[in-house]
């Protein structure tokens, strides 16, 4: 009893209680209940070193190098969170889960107990993970632990309703390199009748009480994506959501929660997470009166329902979560590493992004064989490795009013098909890529005239167009077959190495009239499953083909699409100054190694801003470098400068794309400066890009204190673009560069510098 009262609010009680609780647990544990303490080596039945289960306390503990995640089955049979954070010592005790007693009739224990996955029932008022309507009208669902398995580093826990045969398998898998945990749920109907799932969220992450949590998330709009927001968490709920049918750019399905607002990027506790789902989604951040936080994410319940027939099951998306004790900077480095080594195709041996050229900003829809070949020759001359033809090559596509859906090569623009252009591109030593927008149709197309019923729509209701196009209902098997079929044909008949897969509007009228009424809302799930299966099947059959996820910019970037695509387009805004902020925001959640960035024309088509070619290149060299300028307008000097810069990029691209990113100065707020540093995985090199918006009152550029270097190694400094300050040292220890810092000289407006540190190998 005594122990129970101390642990009534779990280990998340106030710190003084927590310390006392741990003391008591240790005190009692050693002589009396040692067999209950897996940490003391008495009774843990361990199938894997990373996942331990103590069957006397019913406690699960997952350990990574830097993280422990602990939960248990409480006296009611609920799965209850106990700890998530910095790795605990093996000898640290973990008391059994005890449901919170609640405080009054208005605050039932079921809501006060931090559950891992709760059904809507038994008085639950927090966001449920699962809500079901049964055919007899019952809507009460109470999920209790039944059993578990540990296999291949994966913990699977089966929950079941207290009376009905609804089974939920929860899966937990911790990534060995980054300790990022992947969680998901599979709902199975083992009853005799169908039931309707109304809400289903993949997982809930629980954080213990703290009155200084800060939530970070990313918001945006077309051409203005990836703005990092910050808000203090107070009792109440913050809802991050897309009702758009796809990931969307309004909010990205990523969050980070810091304990207190840290003045330094690389300091402090941060819990973060991201959804692997490219359809409508929701993440709820609920803070209770004790300042405990629940983060529940998955499909949005808005306009959602899914009927499960007897024997059928539904798998949720994965909800990934991680912890960093090196601040938000450390959190993003963990995510980057995880994405590159565990998520993207080919991981952990994915190919580096080649330097590409894309003709979109140069030609618009006005593409043809001679024009593309001329651009290809120029692109090859500066070291481009991939030539991509954008929109305009197919159907009757003269502008954005027509052609989507008709995926034949336009015979006026390419009388002999794509082969002559592709051969030319290959002869120049580049591979060939092509723009497609497979999920869309213009009403002015042969496809729509033939199959008007193939789009999302409600019968006899208007069909709202966006960019003169409608969304094909990919949930339909015939539409899926058509889309896979034309892409397979295109890739089989042409030597294409890369698809820029675009998606230029959100859903409207998300109806599916051909399906039975009770199944029509399943479109939100089946559409995304079919999208993923098309991508997977294409990749399987055409293994050399790489794919970019583009959605009018960055409106479909998430850990679901990144499993099937090699890179992402962050924004249609290619102004190099705006891009510094866009790229800064993007990298909180996604790796520079998947972030494509193009050098385009000056003045910028977006805002009329004029910048030098060097500034534009250095802005783009912080990710996967592309060139999207009209090369027909370049001078001889431009080509020479571009060739030099492409060469400089290739010498650091592994470091930039795969290394550890440190934001030395973020270009947020009124900052005149922006500085990133990327450190190679093996530490041999660091690449530093520094930008100045405008000199103010003769102020010198700030001293740059580098990070992530080996303090004892000796590095030599090389200025590639821009100048070091007079008298700057060029050879010194890691400690020197990190603590004395680097002085560079940047003056004027829209100036930029690029330098590297190369580690000298010990003799
Ligand atoms: C979208 C993309 C652009 C370009 C156009 C073509 O806007 O984001 O990069 O491909 O479509 O129509």
Helices (H) and strands (E) in the chain, counts: 14, 38
pLDDT tier at 47 (50, 70, 90 boundaries)? very low
Q: Mutate which of 361, 391, 436, 551 to test ligand 1's pocket (most atoms within 8 Å of Cβ)?
A: 391
Kindly state the DSSP code that residue 489 receives in the 8-state scheme. Answer: H
pLDDT digits (tens, 9 = 90+) for 522-542: 999 999 999 999 999 999 999
CA distance 304 to 282: 12
pLDDT digits (tens, 9 = 90+) for 625-665: 999 999 999 999 999 999 999 999 999 999 999 999 999 99
Which pair of structure tokens corresponds to residue 481? Answer: 């077959």
pLDDT digits (tens, 9 = 90+) for 305-337: 999 999 999 999 999 999 999 999 999 999 999
Kind of pairing, strands 195-207 and 213-219?
unpaired
CA distance 277 to 274: 9
How many whole angstroms from 523 Cα to the centroid of ligand 1? 26
Nearest to 90 by CA among 130, 17, 41: 41
Supply the DSSP string of 197-221, one letter for each residue: EEEEEEEEEEE---TTEEEEEEE--
Say what percent of the chain tops pLDDT 70: 93
Catalytic site includes residue 726: no
- For residue 14, is pLDDT > 80? no
What pLDDT is attached to residue 260? 85
- CB of 502 shorter than 6 A to ligand 1: yes
**β-pair partners for 79:** 73
Nearest to 240 by CA among 286, 303, 204, 203: 286
What mean pLDDT do residues 247-266 have? Answer: 95
Long-range residue pairs from 720-727, CB within 8 A, at least 24 positions apart, any chain:
720/648, 720/754, 720/755, 720/756, 721/614, 721/618, 721/645, 721/648, 721/752, 721/753, 721/754, 721/755, 722/690, 722/746, 722/751, 722/752, 722/753, 722/754, 722/755, 723/753, 724/755, 725/700
Looking at ligand 1, which residue's alpha carbon is closest to its atom 8?
A: 552
Nearest to 435 by CA among 524, 539, 343, 547: 547
CA distance 305 to 360: 40
- CB of 361 shorter than 6 A to ligand 1: no
What pLDDT is attached to residue 340? 98
How many whole angstroms from 109 Cα to the centroid of ligand 1? 52
First to last CA, the chain: 65
Q: Which residues contact 490 (CB under 8 A, 6 or more apart)?
A: 407, 434, 436, 496
- For residue 64, is pLDDT > 90? yes
Supply the DSSP string of 510-546, one letter for each residue: ---TTS-GGGGGGHHHHHHHHHHHHHHHHHHHSTT-E
Q: Which residues contact 529 (CB under 8 A, 6 or more apart)?
A: none
How many whole angstroms from 69 Cα to the centroid of ligand 1? 43
How many whole angstroms from 176 Cα to the centroid of ligand 1? 38
CA distance 630 to 634: 7
Catalytic site includes residue 502: yes
Q: Kindly list the distances between the CA atom of residue 156 and the CA atoms of 115, 145, 178, 197, in Å, as whole numbers in the listed order.
A: 16, 11, 20, 21
Cβ atoms within 10 A of the Cβ of 144, count?
A: 15
- CB of 553 shorter than 6 A to ligand 1: yes
Q: In what order do the strands lie in the sheet with 714-721?
A: 660-665, 673-679, 685-694, 749-760, 714-721, 731-733
How many whole angstroms from 349 Cα to the centroid of ligand 1? 29
- CB of 570 shorter than 6 A to ligand 1: no
Residue 603: cis peptide before it, omega within 30 degrees of 0: yes
- Which residue carries 């270097």 as its tokens? 709
Q: Which residues contact 245 (CB under 8 A, 6 or more apart)?
A: 279, 280, 456, 471, 506, 507, 510, 524, 527
Q: Which residues contact 23 (CB under 8 A, 6 or more apart)?
A: none
Q: Are 302 and 243 in contact (CB under 8 A)?
A: yes
Cβ atoms within 10 A of the Cβ of 371, count?
A: 17
Across all residues in the chain, what is the average pLDDT? 93
What pLDDT is attached to residue 555? 98
- CB of 546 shorter than 6 A to ligand 1: no
Q: Does domain 2-343 bear CATH number 2.70.98.60? A: yes
**Active-site residue, from 502, 566, 578, 658:** 502
Q: Kindly list the distances between the CA atom of residue 681 and the CA atoms of 333, 337, 686, in Å, as whole numbers in the listed order.
A: 11, 10, 10
- For residue 239, is pLDDT > 60? yes
How many whole angstroms from 187 Cα to the centroid of ligand 1? 38
What pLDDT is attached to residue 114? 97
Reduce the DSSP state of residue 315 to 3 states and report it. Answer: strand
Looking at ligand 1, which residue's alpha carbon is closest to its atom 3?
A: 552
Say what percent of the chain tops pLDDT 90: 90
Residues of the chain with CATH 2.70.98.60: 2-343
Q: Mutate which of 504, 556, 567, 570 to test ligand 1's pocket (most atoms within 8 Å of Cβ)?
A: 504
Q: Are 692 and 723 in contact (CB under 8 A)?
A: no
Nearest to 95 by CA among 70, 65, 77, 114: 70
Fold of 664-759: Immunoglobulin-like (2.60.40)
CA distance 715 to 696: 32
Residues of the chain with CATH 2.60.40.1180: 664-759
How many whole angstroms from 417 Cα to the centroid of ligand 1? 22
Which pair of structure tokens corresponds to residue 132? Answer: 């079901």
What pLDDT is attached to residue 763? 63
Looking at ligand 1, which residue's alpha carbon is closest to its atom 9?
A: 572
**Active-site residue, from 572, 575, 584, 658:** 572
Looking at ligand 1, which residue's alpha carbon is closest to its atom 7?
A: 552
- CB of 360 shorter than 6 A to ligand 1: yes
Q: Are 45 and 53 in contact (CB under 8 A)?
A: yes
Q: Which residues contact 604 (CB under 8 A, 6 or more apart)?
A: 574, 575, 576, 578, 610, 611
Q: Which residues contact 534 (CB under 8 A, 6 or more apart)?
A: 438, 474, 480, 483, 484, 487
Q: Where are the beta strands (DSSP E) in 318-418?
A: 318-324, 356-358, 386-389
- For residue 107, is pLDDT > 70? yes
Q: Are 159 and 167 in contact (CB under 8 A)?
A: yes
- For residue 22, is pLDDT > 50? no
- For residue 240, is pLDDT > 70? yes
- Which residue carries 């990534």 as its tokens? 175
Q: Are 387 and 367 in contact (CB under 8 A)?
A: no
Please report the atom of ligand 1 found closest to the CA of residue 435.
10
- CB of 550 shorter than 6 A to ligand 1: yes
- CB of 367 shorter than 6 A to ligand 1: no
How many whole angstroms from 569 Cα to the centroid of ligand 1? 10
- CB of 169 shorter than 6 A to ligand 1: no
- For residue 18, is pLDDT > 60? no
- CB of 504 shorter than 6 A to ligand 1: yes
What pLDDT is attached to residue 11? 26
CA distance 237 to 531: 32
- CB of 437 shorter than 6 A to ligand 1: no
How many whole angstroms from 552 Cα to the centroid of ligand 1? 5
Q: Are 445 and 404 in contact (CB under 8 A)?
A: yes
Which pair of structure tokens corresponds to residue 267? Answer: 């300091």
CA 260 to chain centre: 24
- CB of 391 shorter than 6 A to ligand 1: yes
Q: Which residues contact 178 (CB under 8 A, 6 or more apart)?
A: 64, 322, 334, 335, 337, 338, 341, 342
- CB of 588 shorter than 6 A to ligand 1: no
Looking at ligand 1, which residue's alpha carbon is closest to its atom 12?
A: 391
How many whole angstroms from 503 Cα to the centroid of ligand 1? 9
pLDDT tier at 263 (50, 70, 90 boundaries)? confident
Q: Highest mean pLDDT range out of 42-51, 94-103, 545-554?
A: 545-554
Please report the atom of ligand 1 found closest to the CA of residue 500.
10
pLDDT digits (tens, 9 = 90+) for 450-482: 999 999 999 999 999 999 999 999 999 999 999
- CB of 572 shorter than 6 A to ligand 1: yes
Nearest to 569 by CA among 437, 406, 681: 437
pLDDT tier at 608 (50, 70, 90 boundaries)? very high
Kind of pairing, strands 386-389 and 213-219?
unpaired
- Which residue carries 């794919």 as its tokens? 547
């Amino acid at each position: 009893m005594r122990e129970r009262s101390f642990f009534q609010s779990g280990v998340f009680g106030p710190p003084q209680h927590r310390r006392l609780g741990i003391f008591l647990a240790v005190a009692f544990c050693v002589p009396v209940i040692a067999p209950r303490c897996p940490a003391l080596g008495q009774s843990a039945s361990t199938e894997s070193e990373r996942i331990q289960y103590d069957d006397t306390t019913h406690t699960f503990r997952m350990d990574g190098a830097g993280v422990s995640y602990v939960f248990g089955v409480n006296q009611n049979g609920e799965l209850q969170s106990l700890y998530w954070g910095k790795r605990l010592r093996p000898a640290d005790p973990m008391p059994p889960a005890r449901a919170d007693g609640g405080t009054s009739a208005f605050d039932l224990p079921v809501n006060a107990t931090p559950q891992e996955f709760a059904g809507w029932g038994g008085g639950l008022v927090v966001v449920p993970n699962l809500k079901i309507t049964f055919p007899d009208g019952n809507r009460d669902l109470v999920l209790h632990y039944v059993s578990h398995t540990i296999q291949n580093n994966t913990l699977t826990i089966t929950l079941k309703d207290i009376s009905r045969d609804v089974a939920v398998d929860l899966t937990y898998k911790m990534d060995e390199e980054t300790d990022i945990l992947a969680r998901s749920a599979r709902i199975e109907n083992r009853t005799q009748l169908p039931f309707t799932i109304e809400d289903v969220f993949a997982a809930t992450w629980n954080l213990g009480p703290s009155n200084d949590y800060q939530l970070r998330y990313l918001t945006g709009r077309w051409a203005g994506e990836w703005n990092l927001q910050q808000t203090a968490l107070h009792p109440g709920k913050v809802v991050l959501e897309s009702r758009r049918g796809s990931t969307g750019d309004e909010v990205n399905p990523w969050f980070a929660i810091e304990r207190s607002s840290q003045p330094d990027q690389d300091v402090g506790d941060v819990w973060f997470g991201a959804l692997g789902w490219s359809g409508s989604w929701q993440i709820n951040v609920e803070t209770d009166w004790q300042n405990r936080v629940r983060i529940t994410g998955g499909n949005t319940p808005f306009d959602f329902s899914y009927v499960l027939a007897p024997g059928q099951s539904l798998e949720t998306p994965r909800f990934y979560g991680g912890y960093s004790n090196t601040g938000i900077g450390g959190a993003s480095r963990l995510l980057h590493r995880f994405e590159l080594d565990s998520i993207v195709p080919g991981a952990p041996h994915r190919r580096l992004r080649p330097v590409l050229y894309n003709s979109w900003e140069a030609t618009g829809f006005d593409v043809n064989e001679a024009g593309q070949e001329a651009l290809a020759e120029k692109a090859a001359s500066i070291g481009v490795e991939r030539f991509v033809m954008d929109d305009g090559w197919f159907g009757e596509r003269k502008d954005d009013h027509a052609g989507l859906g008709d995926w034949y090569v336009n015979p006026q623009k390419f009388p002999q098909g794509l082969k002559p252009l592709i051969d030319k591109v290959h002869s120049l030593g580049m591979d060939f890529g092509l723009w497609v927008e497979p999920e869309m149709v213009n009403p002015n197309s042969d496809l729509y005239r033939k199959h008007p019923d193939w789009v999302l729509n409600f019968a006899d209701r208007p069909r709202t167009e966006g960019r003169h196009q409608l969304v094909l209902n990919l949930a339909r098997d015939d539409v899926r077959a058509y889309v896979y079929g034309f892409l397979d044909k295109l890739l089989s008949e042409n030597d294409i190495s890369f698809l820029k897969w675009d998606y230029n509007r959100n859903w409207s009228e998300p109806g599916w009239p051909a399906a039975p009424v009770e199944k029509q809302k399943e479109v939100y799930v089946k559409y995304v499953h079919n999208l993923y299966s098309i991508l997977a099947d294409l990749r399987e059959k055409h293994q050399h083909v790489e794919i970019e996820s583009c959605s009018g910019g960055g409106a479909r970037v998430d850990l679901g699409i990144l499993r099937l695509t090699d890179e992402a387009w962050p924004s249609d805004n290619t102004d190099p100054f705006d891009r510094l902020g866009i790229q800064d925001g993007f990298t909180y959640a996604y790796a520079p190694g998947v972030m494509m960035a193009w050098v385009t024309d000056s003045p910028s088509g977006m805002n009329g801003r004029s910048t030098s070619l060097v500034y534009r290149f250095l802005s783009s060299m912080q990710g996967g470098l592309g060139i999207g300028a009209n090369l027909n307008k370049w001078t001889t000097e431009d080509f020479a400068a571009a060739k030099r810069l492409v060469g400089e990029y290739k010498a650091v691209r592994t470091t930039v794309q795969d290394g550890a990113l440190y934001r030395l100065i973020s270009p947020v707020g009124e900052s005149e400066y922006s500085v990133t540093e990327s450190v190679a995985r093996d530490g041999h090199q660091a690449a530093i890009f520094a930008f100045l918006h405008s000199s103010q009152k003769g102020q010198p550029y700030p001293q740059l204190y580098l990070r992530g270097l080996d303090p004892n190694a000796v590095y030599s400094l090389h200025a590639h673009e821009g100048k070091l300050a007079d008298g700057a040292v060029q050879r010194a220890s890691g400690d020197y560069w990190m603590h004395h810092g680097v002085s560079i000289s940047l003056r004027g407006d829209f100036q930029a510098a690029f330098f590297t540190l190369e580690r000298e190998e010990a003799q």
